[in-house]
Amino acid sequence: MSPVAIEDPADPRLAPYAAMRERDLVGRAGRFIVEGEVTLRLLASTRSRFRAESVLLAPERWPGLAADLGGIGAPVYLAGKAVMSAVAGFPIHRGVLAVGLRGSEPDAEALVPPAPAPALVLGLAGLTNHDNVGGCFRNAAAFGADAVLLDAATCDPLYRKAIRVSAGAALITPFAQLAAGADWPALAVRLGLELLALSPSGAETLDGLAPPRRTLLLLGTEGPGLAPALMARMRTLRIPMAPGFDSLNVATAGAIALHRLASRSGSVPGEEY
Amino acid sequence: MSPVAIEDPADPRLAPYAAMRERDLVGRAGRFIVEGEVTLRLLASTRSRFRAESVLLAPERWPGLAADLGGIGAPVYLAGKAVMSAVAGFPIHRGVLAVGLRGSEPDAEALVPPAPAPALVLGLAGLTNHDNVGGCFRNAAAFGADAVLLDAATCDPLYRKAIRVSAGAALITPFAQLAAGADWPALAVRLGLELLALSPSGAETLDGLAPPRRTLLLLGTEGPGLAPALMARMRTLRIPMAPGFDSLNVATAGAIALHRLASRSGSVPGEEY
């Protein structure tokens, strides 16, 4: 498909890119915004479960991306950075944007490899910071997690900044949002996963753990963490830290745990022990 | 010291708080800005090696902080959030600011415990992103690193956002900036530390490592990483990851390595193996 030059910021084909920050806050009715070359390449690849609706590039970015966008199956619009910035409402320095379509949301059950296959699933409970959710997805992808499950309070991984911080992992790591009031222990039983909750007040140390073959690793809210009543119903892990300093960032703590779990669950090939 | 109410944004005592974002870019001639309660408490504590020059609070924040600021030895100014925001040039939602004094910069040699004591030192080479530098400090503090050494290309850990992302760790974890052209392998020899460089192309896996008693863990630039010519002169480690996904964030990768090194070097007490 040949790219189409657009010079008028009011062109209706650019409407999905308009007032980008304001729309981040209210949502986009089944659409999401992808920024930057690395993330666009992932969206265009067969590794993404999402389809692009359109791509919007500064003309000088087209030659470097043309080969990778050949099969994207969506129109590619070319507009100067001044036009792109006028539409978006703030400077678009990199000149690479796309609109993706969310499609239907999968069920958690469909994403988790059935037993007895090994499985590594990340659960996010009450993570309301987009950077942290993006970071969790990046780490999940790096350590080959099969899926990420999010409770109803956790923010959208397809929020613009979350995708960017995830380095595109939000596009390629399957995820499902659970219904409000979802019960993690019951879900783990249903999926045949051993539930391990990471918390600064966890009962066992991460390093003392014999990693299970099938794990649901649960991370809780940045501030208060997982609720004590919930923790009482789970096996809980802590990462020992130096005394007197608050704690690790939740995505960072999750990365340390994923690293340990992945290296034993077969999610990361080529590791030797 | 009793707090002093200030109502005029042009009051010269508030000058160090003026045009905050613009000054972030040009530096502050021996001063730095601390934001937020957690970070201010660290600045006021004996754990910080820095002195406060002044504190600027919204009046309603004073009662909750008065006890902790008793020994800060610097004037406390009270101004409404509207005045604070007018001075800073953007909304100051939390109503907690302070100016710290950098003081003299220590030498690297002064920060590292002499052999044969165990030591864990983090080295940052070419890290130009303030979030990443802040994240590295937070992780260094969480795992009890003795010091952080920064090459001349790495950005200032006392940059406003770096302090915030570090959760105040930049105030309490000793650091020294090296002269331009500093040679990491020679420095490690001089300090009696084993130099281990973390890189996606490292020769050994982190998990295969027998952690040394005295380590200098080196992290490289986000994009290109450590230069091959430099890597050839060092022992290099990698964290195995899933194929086909770019890599971890540098601070996150550093956290995984610090966790492994700290748990063996005695930096984190109470760990059992």
ipTM: 0.91
Query: Are B160 and B88 contained in the same domain?
Result: no
Quick one: angle between helices A250-265 and A130-142, nearest 10? 20
* Nearest residue in chain B measured CA to CA from A134: B249
Instruction: State residue A271's pLDDT score.
Output: 40
Domain assignment present for B17 = yes
A27, pLDDT greater than 90: no
CA–CA gap between residue B99 and residue A126 (Å, rounded): 34
B217-B220-B225 Cα angle (round to 5) = 135
Query: Which 3 state secondary structure label does DSSP give B27?
Result: coil
- Which alpha helices (H) appear in chain B, and where do they start and end? 20-26, 37-44, 62-65, 81-88, 108-111, 130-142, 160-165, 169-172, 184-191, 228-231, 250-265
Domain assignment present for B86 = yes
**DSSP annotation of B112:** S
* Nearest residue in chain B measured CA to CA from A239: B259
- Least confident segment among A244-248, A258-262, B134-138: A244-248
Q: Percentage of chain A with pLDDT > 90?
A: 80
Query: Are B122 and B236 contained in the same domain?
Result: yes
| Domain boundaries, position B179 | 108-265
A265, pLDDT greater than 60: no
Query: Are A168 and A250 contained in the same domain?
Result: yes
Contact between residue A54 and residue A16 where contact means Cβ atoms under 8 Å apart: yes
Contact between residue B256 and residue A255 where contact means Cβ atoms under 8 Å apart: yes
Q: Which two tokens stand for residue A126?
A: 């009450």
Query: Are A93 and A118 contained in the same domain?
Result: no
Residues of chain A with Cβ-Cβ distance to B239 below 8 Å are 259
CA–CA gap between residue A204 and residue B271 (Å, rounded): 11
Instruction: State residue A221's pLDDT score.
Output: 82
Domain assignment present for A270 = no
Q: Domain containing B27 — which CATH number?
A: 3.30.1330.30
Query: Are B214 and B92 contained in the same domain?
Result: no
Q: Domain containing B147 — which CATH number?
A: 3.40.1280.10
Query: Which 3 state secondary structure label does DSSP give B29?
Result: coil
Inter-chain touch A239–B259, beta carbons under 8 Å = yes
Inter-chain touch B244–A169, beta carbons under 8 Å = no
Domain assignment present for A273 = no
Contact between residue A31 and residue A16 where contact means Cβ atoms under 8 Å apart: yes
CA–CA gap between residue B31 and residue B16 (Å, rounded): 8
Query: Are B252 and B142 contained in the same domain?
Result: yes
Angstrom distances, CA of residue A1 to CA of A6, A31, A72, A91: 15, 22, 9, 27
Q: Which two tokens stand for residue B270?
A: 């109470």
Contact between residue A157 and residue A134 where contact means Cβ atoms under 8 Å apart: yes
CA–CA gap between residue B165 and residue A155 (Å, rounded): 20
Residues of chain A with Cβ-Cβ distance to B241 below 8 Å are 142-144, 268
Whether chain B has a CB inside 8 Å of the CB on A205: the answer is: yes
Query: Are B235 and B195 contained in the same domain?
Result: yes
Q: Which two tokens stand for residue A215?
A: 């794990």
CA–CA gap between residue B235 and residue B197 (Å, rounded): 6
Inter-chain touch B207–A273, beta carbons under 8 Å = yes
Contact between residue A148 and residue A170 where contact means Cβ atoms under 8 Å apart: no
Please choose, from the candidates B177, B229, B221, the residue with its C-alpha nearest in 3D space to the C-alpha of residue B199: B221
Inter-chain touch B241–A144, beta carbons under 8 Å = yes
A268, pLDDT greater than 80: no
Angstrom distances, CA of residue A218 to CA of A17, A18, A254: 35, 36, 9
Q: Write out pLDDT tens, residues B152-165.
A: 999 999 999 999 99
* Nearest residue in chain B measured CA to CA from A250: B252
* Nearest residue in chain A measured CA to CA from B167: A246
Residues of chain B with Cβ-Cβ distance to A38 below 8 Å are 246
Confidence of residue B267 (pLDDT cuts 50, 70, 90): low
Last residue of a domain, one of B54, B75, B101: B101
Count CA within 13 A, CB hemisphere, residue A226: 29
Query: Are A208 and A120 contained in the same domain?
Result: yes
Query: Are B113 and B86 contained in the same domain?
Result: no
Question: Which residue shows structure tokens 């940045």?
Answer: A222
Angstrom distances, CA of residue B247 to CA of A178, A271, B79, B224: 28, 16, 45, 12
Position B165, amino acid: V
Domain assignment present for B125 = yes
Residues of chain A with Cβ-Cβ distance to B273 below 8 Å are 207
B266, pLDDT greater than 80: no
Domain assignment present for A198 = yes
Query: pLDDT averaged over chain A?
Result: 92
Q: Quick one: average pLDDT of B12-40?
A: 91
| Total domain count, chain A | 2
